[in-house]
Amino acid sequence: MNRRRFLTRAAASAALPLASSPMQAAAPTNAPAVPAGDPVGITPETIAAAERVAAVEFTADQRAPLARDLASRAAGYRDTRREPIPNAVPPALGLDLRAAAGLASATGVTGTSSAWTPPDAERPTTPGDLAFLPVSALASLLRSRRISSRELTELCLERLRRIDPALEAVVTLTADRALRQADAADAELRAGKWRGPLHGVPWGAKDLLAVRGYPTTWGARPFREQTFDTDAEVVRRLDAAGAVLVAKLSLGALAYGADWFGGRTKCPWNPALPSSGSSAGSCAAVAAGLVPFAIGSETLGSIVSPCTRNAVTGLRPTYGRVSRAGAMALAWSMDKIGPIARSVEDCALIFASIHGADPADPGAVNAPFDWRAAAPIRGRRVGFVEAQFAAEGEWRDAYRGALETLRGLGVELVPVEMPKIPGRVVSTILSAEAAAAFSDLTLSGEIDDLLAPRPSNWAKSMREARFIPAVEYIQANRVRTGLIKQTEELFSRHRVEVWVTPAPGDHLSLTNATGHPAVCVPAGFAPVKDQPAGSPRRNATAITFHAPLFADDRALEFAHAFQRATRWHEGRPPVS
């Protein structure tokens, strides 16, 4: 890194002009004298200006003795920045959801893969029909050897090559790896060895997951040639389950939006719209029948939002239930990894193979998972926020229809109130952690090259975050502790097992901050305005089921019952 550029950027980001910077050179001749031994020119006047950024106010007498100490701190900041810190290194702090919510620890891990029995599925007569089968049906065909993993993998690779130019969802095809895995899966299946429902099933990885031998680009131009000599833990677990990785799929640059260095990922239901982000490629590829399932990640809506846009199903697990080792870090205390698929059942089967503690991720924990596909929901209590479902607009009928479906399934709908998030608590936490994760990129100026020559929203955001005081970040997390407890108590206070919301809304900020699980399922379609009658283009919406911490299986049970009653998830988009 060019040292002069580094120091100049550092000065601008910290609002503390260096002696060698243009800002310092242009100071007026009547500027206050720099205190002896102060290399950065901090004066009481500098402090007074900085107070406005930090929303505090000191007196002149209080400012005077601060200058030298703040100058010393600034020098220390520069020393710290000289230490190379890879993105994968987390801070020596952690989010303990159980402690915050007052829950007991859990040590056992159970899953559904070994107990699950594949349904009796018929082989479709056309490749297009085969491409849209859920994982549950593919597992039946593969185990009974009515289809081979090689055949299924070649079908996915062919569709990825042929259809992706219309979607821009693929960053890298992993064809050689995929065909080796498919052949190995077929050999095991011929020998009578069945690893479970994912054995031989192709899948796609959001390109923030490291895969040995292939680029891991994070969707950003500065990292387009980046490689790692290891696989992400979730990739290893899917390898162990016998799944076949066929592609690395797009994400918005550094997990923001649908724009990446290769273009803008489009929604297969309405290609005039972006796929939403940041799991843009994962959702578009599943929706278009390019892969049976994919892995996405969410920090503040990156599974729920594109699942809604693309009419696919997604599980955003409880924070810490899936290891993030080998995944790009954006915000260590908010990042979550989860499955995206055609159905709730598929998400449950995938999650059973990837959840659990991992020594390489201090935030990953063990918790029981006992999902039952046939669990009855009649007579059980479901919370809902009345104002969200009473809102007028394009999706009024879809959201009210969702409530009527639940009533028809025999649940008792109970009005609930979500905890209110004060101020900018969530954005303070996310912005500060993201700015730390990509500090070098910001200070070097390379943050401006993420989408070059197009601008990126990250550049402004990460520079702005340099002005968040450490005290305010800690205070935001203390408020967050209260939010975790309040959200967990919502279930017991209203005696509800889950609560349901329209997919977009304030709950995304709340539950991403508190770490509560969510299952997003399609809930309806609407015609695209100004399209001719009969146009296959549609806009989609969804609802989301929220459960208590570590009760991911409960959210899946209710979502599965809703999905079987509605069947919105069975549609096929025009770009497919």
pLDDT at position 484: 96
Same domain, 261 and 385: yes
Largest CA distance in the chain: 86
pLDDT at position 496: 98
- Is residue 302 annotated as part of the catalytic site, yes or no? yes
Q: What's the domain range around 70?
A: 3-79
Domain end position, chosen among 18, 47, 79: 79
Same domain, 482 and 369: yes
Write the pLDDT tens digit of every residue in 231-276.
999 999 999 999 999 999 999 999 999 999 999 999 999 999 999 9
pLDDT at position 504: 76
Same domain, 254 and 363: yes
Same domain, 307 and 240: yes
Do 316 and 274 touch, CB atoms closer than 8 A?
A: no
The list of the chain residues with pLDDT below 50 reads: 1-39, 113-114
Residue 196 lies inside a defined structural domain of this protein: yes
pLDDT at position 83: 78
Same domain, 135 and 38: no
Residue 122 lies inside a defined structural domain of this protein: no
Residue 454 CB coordination number (10 Å)? 11
pLDDT at position 108: 56
Residue 297 lies inside a defined structural domain of this protein: yes
Q: Which of 13, 136, 149, 278 is catalytic?
A: 278
Q: How many CA atoms lie within 13 A of 215 on its CB side?
A: 16
What letters, b where the CB count within 10 A reaches 16 and e where it falls short, cover 55-74? Answer: eeeeeeeebeebbeebbeeb
Q: How many CA atoms lie within 13 A of 114 on its CB side?
A: 5
Assign residue 337 the CATH number of its domain. 3.90.1300.10
Residue 187 lies inside a defined structural domain of this protein: yes
Q: At what angle do helices 425-437 and 470-494 cross, to 10 degrees?
A: 130
Given strand 518-527, what is the order of strands in its sheet?
170-173, 244-249, 202-206, 293-298, 336-341, 313-316, 518-527, 538-546, 498-502, 381-384, 412-415
Q: How far is CA 218 from CA 33, 158, 415, 451, 499, in A?
A: 46, 24, 41, 12, 33
Q: How far is CA 429 from CA 14, 56, 68, 482, 516, in A?
A: 18, 19, 29, 15, 17
Same domain, 22 and 143: no
pLDDT at position 36: 46
- Which of the 8 DSSP states describes residue 115? T
Same domain, 43 and 163: no
Same domain, 228 and 376: yes
Question: Can you tell me whether residue 178 is helix, strand or coil?
Answer: helix
Do 481 and 507 touch, CB atoms closer than 8 A?
A: no
Same domain, 52 and 143: no
Question: Can you tell me whether residue 296 is helix, strand or coil?
Answer: strand
Q: Which of 302, 305, 323, 333 is catalytic?
A: 302
Domain end position, chosen among 49, 79, 109: 79
Same domain, 173 and 25: no
Q: How far, in Å, CA of 489 to CA of 390, rounded?
A: 24
Same domain, 200 and 275: yes
Count up the domains in the chain and report the number: 2
Residue 39 lies inside a defined structural domain of this protein: yes
Residue 177 lies inside a defined structural domain of this protein: yes
pLDDT at position 73: 79
- Is residue 206 annotated as part of the catalytic site, yes or no? yes
- Is residue 278 annotated as part of the catalytic site, yes or no? yes
Q: Which of 21, 149, 206, 509 is catalytic?
A: 206
Domain end position, chosen among 79, 106, 141: 79
Radius of gyration of the chain (CA): 25
Q: What is the pTM of this model?
A: 0.89
Residue 512 lies inside a defined structural domain of this protein: yes
Write the pLDDT tens digit of every residue in 463-495.
999 999 999 999 999 999 999 999 999 999 999
Q: How far, in Å, CA of 211 to CA of 215, rounded?
A: 7
Q: How far, in Å, CA of 71 to CA of 111, rounded?
A: 55
Secondary structure string (H, E, C) spanning 19-76: CCCHHHHCCCCCCCCCCCCCCCCCCHHHHHHHHHHHCCCCCHHHHCCHHHHHHHHHHH
Same domain, 164 and 59: no
**One-letter identity of residue 392:** E
Residue 267 lies inside a defined structural domain of this protein: yes
